């Protein structure tokens, strides 16, 4: 696996984001709303890099019928979301790719009548974004590469890696439980 962003670079940028959030939301009723499951590593590190009172909540978003490179039908489950009326909400996700997930999340959260809503992500694949919004905060802008680690997964694997990496065919085949594509024509990269 090729390392795209090393552990110490992530630590530094997350600390900067924590400082920024602390100064911009000082004295405000902040709720950081982590998007399951990809944001959990960032969420745990970011909240410890802030020094203002805040609440933590979780929401789930998943897309069905998509492939590794094109999202499917988005489903947002807000059953875990607490009362957000009058609160300043910061939606936190691992990555802003096409942006469709964040648009769906914003629609869902506006229904909770918050005082304000902003978005923050670790990674922004700006070349792939095809919606009218951009993340309000991001740690790294990255090229159009499929990445894993620090919460990001392939087939629910690799979330535990402390760095952001670009998996090779061998890594992807292992995570699929499929034979190494170098030894077979069953290459997940060609599946869409
Ligand atoms: P969007 O709706 O296209 O912005 O996609 C957002 C979701 O797609 C993220 O929350 C991730 O779950 C997934 N995703 C997009 N790009 C990657 C990637 O490079 N690695 C892992 N997951 C990704
Ligand atoms: Mg995700």
pLDDT at 63: 82
- Domains of the chain plus CATH, in order, are 2-143 (3.40.50.2020)
Ligand 1 atom 17: the closest Cα is on which residue?
146
Is the Cβ atom of 94 under 6 angstroms away from ligand 1?
A: yes
Closest CA to 135 of 101, 164, 109, 163: 101
71-117, pLDDT tens digit by residue? 678 999 999 999 999 999 999 999 999 999 999 999 999 999 999 99
Nearest atom in ligand 1 to 71's CA: 3
Ligand 1 atom 9: the closest Cα is on which residue?
95
Q: What is the pTM of this model?
A: 0.91
Intervals of the chain under pLDDT 50: 184-192
pLDDT at 180: 57
Alpha carbons 58 and 128: distance in angstroms, whole number: 26
Letter string b/e over residues 135-157, b meaning 16 or more CB atoms within 10 A of that residue's CB: bebbbbebeeeebbbbbbbbeeb
pLDDT at 58: 98
Give the β-pairing of 137-141 and 54-64: unpaired
């Amino acid at each position: 696996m090729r390392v795209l962003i090393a552990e110490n670079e992530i630590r530094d940028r997350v600390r900067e984001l924590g400082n920024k959030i602390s100064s911009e939301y000082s004295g405000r009723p902040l709720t950081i709303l982590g998007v399951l499951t990809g944001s959990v590593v960032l969420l745990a590190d970011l909240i410890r890099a802030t020094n203002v009172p805040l609440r933590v909540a979780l929401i789930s978003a998943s897309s069905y019928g998509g492939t590794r490179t094109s999202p499917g039908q988005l489903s947002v489950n807000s059953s875990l979301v607490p009362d957000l009326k009058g609160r300043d909400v910061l939606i936190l996700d691992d990555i802003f790719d096409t942006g469709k997930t964040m648009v769906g999340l914003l629609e869902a959260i506006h229904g909770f009548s918050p005082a304000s809503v902003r978005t923050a992500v670790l990674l922004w694949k700006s070349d792939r974004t095809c919606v009218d919004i951009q993340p309000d905060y991001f740690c790294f802008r990255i090229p159009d590469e499929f990445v894993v680690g620090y919460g990001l997964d392939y087939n629910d694997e690799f979330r535990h890696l402390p760095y952001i990496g670009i998996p090779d065919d061998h890594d992807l085949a292992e995570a699929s439980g499929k034979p190494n594509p170098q030894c077979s024509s069953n290459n997940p990269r060609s599946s869409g």
